[in-house]
Structure 1
Amino acid sequence: MLNGFNLNIDSQLVLRFLGVFSIIIGIVGMSGLWKRWYFRSQRNTVYGYPLLGVTCILGSFEKEVQAALGGREWLVVVIYAILLGGALLISYSPPQVLKPRFVKRIEQEPHWVYEKMVKEVMSDKPWGQNAKNRTALEKWIKEIKKKGK
């Protein structure tokens, strides 16, 4: 009860919602649709979101999963540990297969090229057209390299 207001929340439903939301955010992030995200933060957390989402969804069915595993709670904990460990590992060092093409292409260049790209994005100059397709990205990279460090 919260100041006379009875708040009844289904925690399993919340876990499922968070799980689906995390999976969707992870997939959209890995698809390359949010290019601005890549330039604003070079953190790789989005790559681990789908596994975190699966963990949340699995947690919402914990009793059913434990029953299916013969009541072995330790096995459920091991599954959680594997999923969470995998999410951390993928977030720390994502495999190339999960990265969008434009990210893989930029990572082939010296780091200073990426840093110049970030400066352009952060300066709020129109830059979206520079990353809309492979040809535009190649042109942008050439322009930055021509300017030099």
Structure 2
Amino acid sequence: MPNSALVYFYIDSSLLAPNQFAGLGFAAVIPALFYAIFQTALSEELLFRGFLLKRLAKSFGFHVGNIIQSIVFGSIHGAMLWSVLPVQIILLVVGCTGIAGYVMGWMNERLAGGSIVASWTIHAIGNLLAAGFFMFLY
């Protein structure tokens, strides 16, 4: 999602997940859809908002649970870049991804009645945009 835009100018883009679609154009549409919708968005939303947030909210209340899941979500995205980026950029990735995780958790629980469909859709669109960038513009 936003991580691709944040780190694009700081590291070799071959390290980014959507790079697997670089220059493939329309030939990569089906694999990119699978990647964007199921491989990353669905799996992350099930884990972080569907499982972790619900367990944490039950134990600590929604606000604290959502903060914790968003910190974990951001930290895992930052950890993937630990060896290739300076600390200040990693902190930016963790912060931006964590904020996105918090907003998606809030949206699911407060606007969508506990369903992950809203955040899954937004997450998939972000991933698909990143993959599309590599497919057609890179």
TM-score by length of 1: 0.27
Higher helix proportion, which one? 2
Query: Relative contact order (C-alpha < 8 Å, sep 6+): which is higher?
Result: 2
Greater C-alpha Rg: 1
